[in-house]
Structure 1
Amino acid sequence: MTTRRTLIIGTGAIADHHAHAVAQHGDRAVVVAGVDLDASRAQAFAAEHGLPAWGTDLATALAGELPTADGGTTGRPDLAHICTPPGSHVPLALQCLEAGVAVLLEKPPALSLAEMDVLIKASRRTGVQASVVVQHRFGGAGLRAARLLASGQLGRPLVATCDTLWFRGPEYYAVPWRGRWDVEGGGPTMGLGIHQLDLLIALIGPWAEVTAMAARQARDTATEDVSTAVVRFENGALATIASSALSPRQTSHVRVDAERATVEVEHLYGYGDEHWTVTPAPGHEDVARLWATDEPSPDSGHVSQLAFVLDAMDAGEPVPVTLADARGSLELVAAIYASAFTGTRVRRGDIGPGHPFYERMDGTGAPWA
């Protein structure tokens, strides 16, 4: 088994989750360096996690030439974890792809569909893979629910709800890049709700059309602080989606009502089996047997997703949740904004080159701008 050399780009809070995830995989992967524009932060991160090197120059790190404490160099990384603020994701990912280094990219992967398509083209042209962090797809219970729904054993999905009801006070938005369309790409729809929204798509399949509303109710931001949407999926299921930064009782909740059972999860930032509930429809009590398992069922999180990425790399297979896979979730976010700001129904595929919401998530401009 190959031990993958990984590089962490951006050593802020989310980078700790990535370093911990790598550490949980023992001999399969090791972090060789942390890179940050802030030298003191990179150095402190390296010391905290026991890394052999740190630096401020990404090109040097991608070439494997960062000096280590023992007088050597790090060696060329196999995988770069991009953990920086959203506005820098695309240029950093492009630099990695051009250098031939695979990417694990934090959400949101890009600030717009136009940027996402640039990344997709670069990945295809260079032949270098990129996976997007959507860790809620990779908990054991979430994978089991998706398999049961896809197999038809629970019947057709009919109704769904998807709520990301979190609380983010004014101090959260004091960070310069938050609450701005040009560097964050949106408000809670983009930055908070995208995880639950992506899990919903993983459970019941591609979406077809959306009607939405958004508002800036209480936070001094350029973006929305709440949005709601009604979505029709290609299989006919109807869903409501709410994303909020204003909710004192915080919850992350996804529920799918299928013909033979209700499957739902309620958690906050990560789930285990204990957060899931399956309720059989009358006459379909055998669903409980389908749900039960004696297999290990890991919690959702970076540790679980990284295991799938490493498995794919070892097998020479496509990494899970490629840029193209993740585009559907980003397109739904863009469509929610487009519908909310124009008062129209938006269908999947409507937003392409020349559409105002293709280049920027605020498109024609937020009504409160």
Structure 2
Amino acid sequence: MRSFDVVIVGTGGIAGVHAGDYARLGGRAKVVAAVEVDADRLRGFSEKFEIPRTYSSLEQMLASEDPDVIDLCTPPGLHRDQALACLADSRTVLCEKPPALSLIELDDIAAAGGSFATISQHRFGSGAVNLRRMLAAGDLGRPMTAVCHTLWYRPDDYFRVPWRGKWELEGGGPTMGHGIHQMDLMLSILGPWREVVATAARQARPTATEDLSCAIVTFENGAMATVVNSLLSPRETSYLRFDFEHATVELEHLYGYQDKSWRITADPDRTQAWQAMPAGVSSGHSAQFAAVFDALEAKAPPPVTLPDARMTLELIAAIYASAFTGRSVRRGEIGPRSPFYQRMDGSGAPWERA
């Protein structure tokens, strides 16, 4: 297997996670450069992870480097323009989620063509892979209902970072920036959604965005899921439950899962089949990075593709649209004429209008 040269753009907290996981791939990847506007942070980051070259702007890096992958670890409000610049330079882009602030921004990226993938690391752990295999094989029966809860806690101080809690910079509250992890995993298992009805509120946090949303999602296969995204929950948990005809499969963790985070309730044969499946891969970024490099080596599109990411982003837009208009929203309904295609808050959140 060949080694891939990676450039990391942005050196905040998530960039450190990425750099550490690249280092754990046994030489499969080498971070050859980093980009950051804050000189002190850039210096500390490059020293910590032994990154040989640094740049203060994306433009400088593109003019000097020839990387295999550019990894965007910047705030969401920068993703669209940075992705377009990289794609115009014929680079493979790996982008943290959310990949864009809105559907129009994501469609702009898609229209540019090229190789673009979104970080959705929870899709790649052993438990998620095994669940999709058993479901595809028909071992679990038809999916009936699901629970998808992101119950996290963020104090007021969390929002002192300038881009947090603002529609024009973060794109939304917990529905967009936090619950996206679990909702994306849910969609990777249950498939395309059909319709959503939702509500959202700003209960306590000093933000322009919501700090709580609740939704009921109906899928094309007939399954129904309840979805809660919260930043108001002192006992934090990320909880998914899938009830199939012949089994219940549950996942409870916080920011990342291991095999022990999963539980199946089923007859002995199905339980034994679950326990016999390949194991040992957590939901850390390393698993997705390895899958990206495997795809590039095979000259295939790296996962997670733009259509995959759009399915998730469209569900988020529909949750906001339903919550702010008071009606159900169907997949495909939010088009260029909808204000929710342009911005996640559409024509404005109810509390803003009030």
TM range (shorter): over 0.9
Distance apart, 1:364 and its partner CA: 2.0
Distance 1:279 1:294, change over 3 A: closer
AA at the equivalent of 2:82:
L
Residue 39 of structure 1 contacts residue 55 of structure 1 at CA under 8 Å; is this kept in 2?
Answer: no
AA at the equivalent of 1:346:
V
C-alpha root-mean-square deviation of aligned residues, in Å? 1.0
Partner Cα distance (1:187, 1:294) in 2: 37
Partner residue, 2:69:
79
Task: Name which of 335, 346, 368 aligns with 2:329.
Answer: 346
Deviates more, 1:285-294 or 1:91-100: 285-294
SS of equivalent residue, structure 1 residue 201 = helix
* 2:61 is aligned with 1:61: yes
SS of equivalent residue, structure 2 residue 282 = coil
* 2:4 is aligned with 1:7: no
Residue 193 of structure 2 contacts residue 219 of structure 2 at CA under 8 Å; is this kept in 1?
Answer: yes
Distance apart, 1:293 and its partner CA: 2.5
Distance apart, 1:149 and its partner CA: 1.6
Partner residue, 1:359:
342
Partner residue, 1:20:
20
Task: Name which of 280, 286, 298 aligns with 2:269.
Answer: 286
Partner Cα distance (1:13, 1:62) in 2: 23
Partner Cα distance (2:279, 2:53) in 1: 35
Partner residue, 1:98:
88
Distance apart, 1:121 and its partner CA: 1.1
* 2:141 is aligned with 1:155: yes
Partner residue, 1:243:
229
Distance apart, 1:21 and its partner CA: 1.4
Partner Cα distance (1:270, 1:80) in 2: 24
Residue 87 of structure 1 contacts residue 110 of structure 1 at CA under 8 Å; is this kept in 2?
Answer: yes
Distance apart, 1:39 and its partner CA: 1.8
Residue 149 of structure 1 contacts residue 204 of structure 1 at CA under 8 Å; is this kept in 2?
Answer: no
AA at the equivalent of 2:230:
S
Partner residue, 1:274:
260
* 2:102 is aligned with 1:112: yes
TM-score by length of 2: 0.98
Partner Cα distance (2:268, 2:80) in 1: 48
Partner deviation per Cα, 1:56-96 (whole Å, 9 max, x = no partner): 12223223x2xxxxxxxxx4111011001110011111111
Tell me the percent identity.
Answer: 54
Partner deviation per Cα, 1:329-354 (whole Å, 9 max, x = no partner): 00000000000000010000000111
TM-score by length of 1: 0.94
Residue 150 of structure 1 contacts residue 204 of structure 1 at CA under 8 Å; is this kept in 2?
Answer: no
Name stretches of at least 5 consecutive residues in structure 2 with no aligned partner: none
Distance 1:246 1:354, change over 3 A: same
Distance apart, 1:297 and its partner CA: 2.5
Residue 127 of structure 2 contacts residue 279 of structure 2 at CA under 8 Å; is this kept in 1?
Answer: no
Distance apart, 1:294 and its partner CA: 5.7
Partner residue, 1:68:
none
Name stretches of at least 5 consecutive residues in structure 1 with no aligned partner: 66-74
Q: Across the two proteins, how many residue pairs are aligned to each other?
A: 352
* 2:159 is aligned with 1:173: yes
Task: Name which of 130, 133, 137 aligns with 1:144.
Answer: 130
Partner Cα distance (1:192, 1:358) in 2: 20
SS of equivalent residue, structure 1 residue 212 = strand
AA at the equivalent of 2:8:
I
SS of equivalent residue, structure 1 residue 286 = helix
Residue 149 of structure 2 contacts residue 239 of structure 2 at CA under 8 Å; is this kept in 1?
Answer: yes
* 2:305 is aligned with 1:315: no
Partner residue, 2:210:
224
Task: Name which of 295, 310, 323 aligns with 1:327.
Answer: 310
SS of equivalent residue, structure 1 residue 6 = strand
Partner residue, 1:42:
42
Partner Cα distance (1:255, 1:317) in 2: 32
Partner Cα distance (1:322, 1:37) in 2: 29
Partner residue, 1:186:
172
AA at the equivalent of 1:211:
V
Residue 126 of structure 2 contacts residue 278 of structure 2 at CA under 8 Å; is this kept in 1?
Answer: no
Partner deviation per Cα, 1:29-73 (whole Å, 9 max, x = no partner): 10001101112211111001011111112223223x2xxxxxxxx
Distance apart, 1:296 and its partner CA: 4.1
Partner Cα distance (2:348, 2:238) in 1: 28
Distance apart, 1:152 and its partner CA: 1.8
Partner deviation per Cα, 1:314-367 (whole Å, 9 max, x = no partner): 111111111121100000000000000000100000001111100000002101
